[in-house]
Amino acid sequence: MTESIDEAVAILRRGGLVGVPTETVYGLAADAANDTAVRRIFEAKGRPADHPLIVHIGSAAEMGSWAASIPESAQVLAEACWPGPLTLLVPKAGHVLSVVTGGRDTVGLRVPAHPMALELLRRFGGALAAPSANRFGQVSPTTADHVCGDLGDAVDLVLDGGPCPIGVESTIVDCTVSPPQVLRPGGIATEVIARLLDGVITVPTGPARASGMLASHYAPRCRVEVVDNLEQATTNAATHAYAGLRVDILDPTADLVTAAQQLYNWLRNADTRTLDVLVAVLPPAVGLGHAIRDRLIKAAGLG
């Protein structure tokens, strides 16, 4: 591991791209202070230039170096949840590159909980811009093999930290508005955010302001169809099978922790099996169910 991280640091310092494991999904990392390197992320992913990136920092103490100011809500959430699967949208400091923020006056910051990611940040000595390490809009990677298969030679090195233990992206909270808004449900449940902020949060309105807010995202090649219960899934699957389509049912409701860990593997497997349709049961909107519902709805293009 030491040699790999040393090599990764050298690559990042010369403007290269590194696949990095986090507790959520694998990220495609570049030096957040290097304009040319960050632009390589957009090229490798095929990502729209106005879609902002999340900046990964090594500790909550570094937030002041990237934020023009730190809202009270951001301070509360950082103290309670970092390191962890939470991204905080705050006013950006003047030096933060426009290419990182998609031209916006805010920046998303997070401290990852994965030991390899934290060690990389410590040795690198700076911040890393790191969206998910996959082609834009497609299924996120939760293993090093996924990154290699998705990006190939576009990434200079992939650090293998094993399967991601959470399996869905970080929760994104906009702390620049009052009350704060959960822009993307993720690894920390919306109920936890609400409790930490004394119950005061709202749902987002208007255009996308952060990663993962587009209507279609996290999508396999096969068609994803979402339903509310297993009975409806069974009926729909039978109809599709009768029409000669290759179909299967995805029911993540029994164990939300395992479902989050395996969700992207299941979506990728649907393509490996050349399914035409995957009928997915939406879990209740509680705990990790918020994030799983969000990913399935966007995989179906209904977000």
Q: Are residues 74 and 175 in the same domain?
A: yes
| Residue 164, domain member (yes or no) | yes
Per the structure, the complete domain to which residue 139 belongs is given by 2-196
Domains in the chain, number: 2
Residue in the block written with tokens 């790999």: 4
Q: Are residues 228 and 84 in the same domain?
A: no
For the chain, what is the radius of gyration of the CA atoms?
19
- By percentage, how much of the chain surpasses pLDDT 90? 91
Q: Are residues 229 and 128 in the same domain?
A: no
Q: Are residues 128 and 10 in the same domain?
A: yes
Q: Are residues 169 and 245 in the same domain?
A: no
**Phi and psi (nearest 5°) for 15?**
90, 20
Burial class (CB in 10 A: 0-12, 13-18, 19+), 209: buried
Q: Are residues 175 and 80 in the same domain?
A: yes
Helix H or strand E encompassing 199: none
Give pTM, 2 decimals.
0.93
Tokens representing residue 216 in the block: 């279609």
Query: What's the rounded Cα separation, in Å, for the pair 161 and 142?
Result: 10
Give residue 201's pLDDT.
72
Helix (H, G, I), strand (E, B) or coil at 244: coil
Q: Are residues 61 and 110 in the same domain?
A: yes
Q: How far apart are the first and last CA of the chain?
A: 39
| Residue 107, domain member (yes or no) | yes
| Residue 211, domain member (yes or no) | no
Q: Which residues of the chain have pLDDT under 50?
A: 208
Q: What is the 3-state secondary structure (H, E, C) of 68-135?
A: CCCCHHHHHHHHHHCCCCEEEEEEECCCCCHHHHCCCCEEEEECCCCHHHHHHHHHHCCCEECCECCC
Q: Are residues 152 and 39 in the same domain?
A: yes
Helix H or strand E encompassing 66: helix 63-66
Give residue 218's pLDDT.
81
Tokens representing residue 132 in the block: 């998910």
Residue among 53, 55, 51 nearest 67 (CA): 55
Give residue 1's pLDDT.
54
| Residue 128, domain member (yes or no) | yes
Give residue 200's pLDDT.
67
Q: Are residues 281 and 139 in the same domain?
A: no
Query: What's the rounded Cα separation, in Å, for the pair 3 and 213?
Result: 37
| Residue 127, domain member (yes or no) | yes
Q: Report the alpha-carbon angle 96-89-13, nearest 5.
A: 40
Give residue 216's pLDDT.
58
Q: Are residues 176 and 235 in the same domain?
A: no
Which domain CATH number covers 276? 3.40.50.11030
**Phi and psi (nearest 5°) for 298?**
-75, -35
CA dihedral 159, 163, 169, 170 (to 10 degrees): -80
| Residue 53, domain member (yes or no) | yes
Query: What's the rounded Cα separation, in Å, for the pair 21 and 143?
Result: 8
Query: What's the rounded Cα separation, in Å, for the pair 265 and 143?
Result: 9
Query: What's the rounded Cα separation, in Å, for the pair 39 and 49?
Result: 8
Give residue 205's pLDDT.
53
Which domain CATH number covers 184? 3.90.870.10
Q: Are residues 186 and 237 in the same domain?
A: no
Q: Are residues 11 and 62 in the same domain?
A: yes
| Residue 216, domain member (yes or no) | no
| Residue 92, domain member (yes or no) | yes
Q: Report the alpha-carbon angle 19-150-142, nearest 5.
A: 60
